[in-house]
Structure 1
Amino acid sequence: MNKENDILKWFEGEMSLEDIKNKYPLEDFSNLEKMGFYSKQIEVPIIDAEQALADFKKRSFKKEETKVVPLNFKTFMKVAAVLVVLLTSSYFLFFNHTTSYSTEIAQTETLKLPDNSEVILNAQSELAFNKKEWKQNRSLTLKGEAFFKVTKGKKFTVDTDAGSIQVLGTQFNVKERDNYFEVQCYEGSVSVTHKNNKTILTPGKSVRVVNGELVEVKPFNAENPSWLAKESSFSEVPLWQVINELEVQYDIVIDASKIDAEQMFSGTFTHNDKNIALQSVTIPLKLSYAITGKNVEFYNYESN
């Protein structure tokens, strides 16, 4: 009932609608926006207390007079809030069949889909699908990175903001971060569509989109993505993307304003030791770093 409690807090002014949207990014709260708009149109009636008392005295002497209990506006709003919560709960219970999962910084999670396909979510990633329609439509949305082991069956589709992936039964990895999109095929074949351009991947092949542009990628030789083994590996990737991944895995903020973040990096860093990870990235590029709490600054050796 956390969602319903938050909606009740919003109705009583203890929580903003923007906070609710941020807390539940995959849910549709358009109805709440409409309710909020119309509730603002309701005006609290202005009551003349003295006149109301005089009218009450007159009515009190009339026999069999029907008693009218004035409706307190605050009470009305609370009742309305309860009704909204009940209606919202009914919607989520009977009409909304979206199942969603998300991971935090440095967290991974293994999931089983209704057809026994397996998904492993990397850190700071979100996945959602319609459970009721899954048998007819094996389709889901992904933000972040995930490794898929898809059981054979009907077409299986992964939609991201950068492109879509379609398979019948295979193993593949999808990474969709800010200005970066990459799909790697480990088994079977994968169809990747980006801006109406379709690419068919076979095992050991991948497609990469950096800053909206397709980038040629060399074949790779691996049975699984390195992040499943608590490492992040890169092959000729812009340094800014490596920095983004460091931030995702270690809950840090890296200032790269004093270096060339567009230079290419090939290498690996561990997810188990922050200093070793930072050294693995900076030393090959002849960079250094300074740590202040959660803030890390990259700089060239000669800038020290």
Structure 2
Amino acid sequence: MDLENLLHKWLNGTATPEEVTQLKASPEYASYLEISAATAHLKTPEVASDQNYKAIASQLQPKNNVRKLFPVRNLLKIAAVLAIFVVGYLYVDSLDTTIHSQIAKKETFTLPDSSEVALNANSTITYNKNNWNSQRTLNLQGEAYFKVTKGNTFSVKTPLGTVTVLGTQFNVFSRDKQFNITCYEGLVSVAYNDTLIKLPAGSQLSIENNTLIKHANAFAPFPSWTANESSFENADLAAVLEELERQYPIQLTATFSNANRRFTGSFTHTDLTLALKSICDPLQLAFTIEDERVTIYANKSQ
């Protein structure tokens, strides 16, 4: 047996007496004996296999990174707020634009297509600016003068009828049962009941108490009211006095019978006394002014 195997058996205590005798005869035996004596007190460390397994297993087990989710209830609240905001924005954005002029006040403004509008006192215009370029339609209550830029159809709707143009200048008066349209430039189409009427420049259409009257006279290049003066031709006096109340912040009382009284003339919007004289003198009427109260009565001295 070679020396290496013999040494192995000796260290493990499995060598026979003959093998021990053979080993002692070798020159290396003295060195082996010293090594064996020096290491005899050493012990192999005990391994707590169960504990070590648990420790190692805990290290090897994948860690689940738990993320705290945002509460669903909070998400729903945010979604609700956003929904309300969006709906509110769309609602406000879809609302019509309304321009209203007060008594004794006029308004001028420009539409989204650069068309110009002058709004007489105590009048209202309503339109939608969001779809204006595709549908140039507005609603009018009162009186307005339009300078329309060329483009698609431009329509003015009133309780009494609709005025339609492409690009022109015209005036529309719509109050109670009175409907007047004057064309200053271009061509105007007026729809009244089931009737369609064409008005060229310099012509006027008047509808009063369901009676239609078309004038083909030459008119001024613009409505007189835009220059602070109201003009009338054979107009009902009651309508003239109503216009006076729109141009001045007054409380008007008439103590005379104005049945069948007609007025042809004009009055200014800048001087109440002068305006009253312009109306009353031709009709042999008199008036008094006390603060904002105006009384018109028959002039008994004449």
| TM-score when normalising by structure 2 | 0.68
1:135 lines up with 2:105 in the alignment: no
The one-letter amino acid paired with 1:290 is T
1:126 to 124, 127, 134: 124
Question: What is the match of residue 92 of structure 1?
Answer: 91
Alignment partners' CA distance in 2, 1:281 and 1:110: 27
Offset of residue 266 of structure 1:
0.8
Q: Secondary structure at the match of 1:93?
A: helix
Question: What is the match of residue 148 of structure 1?
Answer: 146
1:240 lines up with 2:277 in the alignment: no
Query: Deviation digits for residues 48-89 of structure 1, max 9, x if unmatched?
Result: xxxxxxxxxxxxxxxxxxxxxxxxxxxxxxxxxx9xx97984
Alignment partners' CA distance in 2, 1:113 and 1:257: 43
Question: What is the match of residue 270 of structure 1?
Answer: 268
The one-letter amino acid paired with 2:288 is A
Superposed structure 1 runs of 4+ greater than 3 Å apart: 85-92, 215-218
CA contact (8 A) 1:259 1:298 kept: no
Within a 5 Å distance, the mapping from 1:1-304 to structure 2 comes to: 89-90=88-89, 92-94=91-93, 96-217=94-215, 219-302=217-300
Gapped runs of 5+ residues in structure 1? 1-81
Offset of residue 303 of structure 1:
8.1
Offset of residue 214 of structure 1:
1.9
Offset of residue 231 of structure 1:
0.6
Alignment partners' CA distance in 2, 1:91 and 1:256: 50
The one-letter amino acid paired with 1:117 is S
Q: Secondary structure at the match of 1:232?
A: strand
Alignment partners' CA distance in 2, 1:296 and 1:217: 34
Identical pairs, percent:
42
The one-letter amino acid paired with 1:92 is Y
Alignment partners' CA distance in 1, 2:89 and 2:202: 47
Offset of residue 202 of structure 1:
1.1
CA contact (8 A) 1:240 1:262 kept: no
Alignment partners' CA distance in 2, 1:213 and 1:303: 37
CA RMSD of aligned residues (A): 2.3
Offset of residue 287 of structure 1:
1.0
Flag the 1:114–1:292 CA change in 2: closer, same or farther, 3 A: same
Gapped runs of 5+ residues in structure 2? 1-80
Q: Secondary structure at the match of 1:114?
A: coil
Q: Secondary structure at the match of 1:116?
A: coil
Offset of residue 295 of structure 1:
2.5
Offset of residue 91 of structure 1:
5.1
**Bigger radius of gyration, 1 or 2?**
2
Alignment partners' CA distance in 2, 1:194 and 1:99: 26
Q: Secondary structure at the match of 1:206?
A: strand
Alignment partners' CA distance in 1, 2:128 and 2:145: 19
Question: What is the match of residue 47 of structure 1?
Answer: none
Offset of residue 124 of structure 1:
0.8
**Aligned residue pairs, count:** 221
CA contact (8 A) 1:288 1:300 kept: yes
| TM-score when normalising by structure 1 | 0.68
Alignment partners' CA distance in 2, 1:254 and 1:212: 27
CA contact (8 A) 1:180 1:241 kept: no
Query: Deviation digits for residues 106-153 of structure 1, max 9, x if unmatched?
Result: 111111111111111111111111112111111000111110000111
